[in-house]
Amino acid sequence: MLQKLGEQLQQARQARGVSLEDAERIIRIRRKYLAALERGDHLALPTPLQVRGFLQSYSTYLGLDAAALVAQLDLALAAARRTNRWQVRGFEAGRAGSPLVARVSGRRMPFHSIANKPSSWRRVQRIVNFELLAMLTVIAALGWALVWGGRRIAPTLLATALPAGTLAAVVPTATPTLIQEVLQTPTPPPPLATFTDVQLGLLFEQRSYVRVLVDDRLDFDGQVVVGERLEYTGVQRVEVTTANGAGVRVQFNQRDEGLMGAFGENVTWVFLPNQKSTPTPGAPLAPSAETPAPAGTKVP
């Protein structure tokens, strides 16, 4: 009956002009299972529940009556279960039989390989199985968790069980010790190295508007974005004015001078070869009409 069912599937597929590869790609069932359905080889298929699902999807794709074919499959599988446990695969009247195949522990194995196995090995197979190994693994994991957890909580349980008097006797009493107060003298920052010119680096941590005068000459006047760096070298004097003191960090003669001021503060710093001065803030900084091209070196 299974072979007749498979012939119906094969004829329907060939009539539609579809290959097994096309059917596999469309209904997402592996080609070897589709070929086994067409051969009527239920031993090459997975569990009966999966076989019913494969047959229903395949027959629906081929335009056949899926319910009728599934009913035929159930009858054939029921008849196969009523037969002897030892089955000859592909045996038919008037046709040479194929090698004898038997189902042992859910696997298809040739008869000769089973007959040649020693009886002791078969007894081991009956005793040791996947369920037993899984149960032993779970028991070992629980035992390890109990041992590991017991070592961690045992000190806490023992400390809780001891009375307050015992703890007082065990724990040593701290003896107060007079410690002479030591006054630390703040160390002044190291003096600036002697330079004959002004070396200035401006690192922008916020978007800022800045104006730079090098030796009383306007060198830069405009907006600078976060992450940019400008470097200038002056012979006598470099003046930096910004409308956002928190956005400009200054390095003067290889020394970090920090931020120029607070957020949104209008600040002007003047740098001489070995001196920095901060004039009194004046009117808010306004951008000039003509912004000269920066002569300093911009470092990304």
Distances (CA, A) of 292 to 91, 101, 223: 98, 93, 12
Give domain status of residue 130, yes or no.
no
Across 11-15, 32-36, 127-131, 213-217, least confident range: 127-131
* Cα gap 194→5, rounded to integer Å: 101
* Cα gap 260→205, rounded to integer Å: 11
Q: What domain range is 46 assigned to? A: 2-82
Across 15-19, 71-75, 217-221, least confident range: 71-75
* Cα gap 83→102, rounded to integer Å: 12
pLDDT of amino acid 139: 95
Q: Which of residues 82, 109, 133 is at a domain's end?
A: 82
Element (H, E) at 220: strand 217-224
Across 41-55, 114-128, 284-298, least confident range: 284-298
pLDDT of amino acid 229: 92
Give domain status of residue 156, yes or no.
no
CB atoms within 10 A of CB 145: 10
Give domain status of residue 93, yes or no.
no
Q: Which of residues 43, 67, 82 is at a domain's end?
A: 82
CATH of the domain at 76: 1.10.260.40
- Mean pLDDT for the stretch of residues 102-127: 53
Give domain status of residue 53, yes or no.
yes
Give domain status of residue 207, yes or no.
yes
* Whether residue 62 has pLDDT greater than 70: yes
pLDDT of amino acid 254: 81
Give domain status of residue 232, yes or no.
yes
Average pLDDT over all residues of the chain? 74
Q: Which of residues 36, 63, 82 is at a domain's end?
A: 82
Give domain status of residue 98, yes or no.
no
In this prediction, residue 284 has a pLDDT band, given cuts at 50, 70 and 90, of low
Cβ atoms of 206 and 224 within 8 Å: the answer is no
pLDDT of amino acid 98: 43
Domain count for the chain, please give it. 2
Give domain status of residue 33, yes or no.
yes
Largest CA distance in the chain: 116
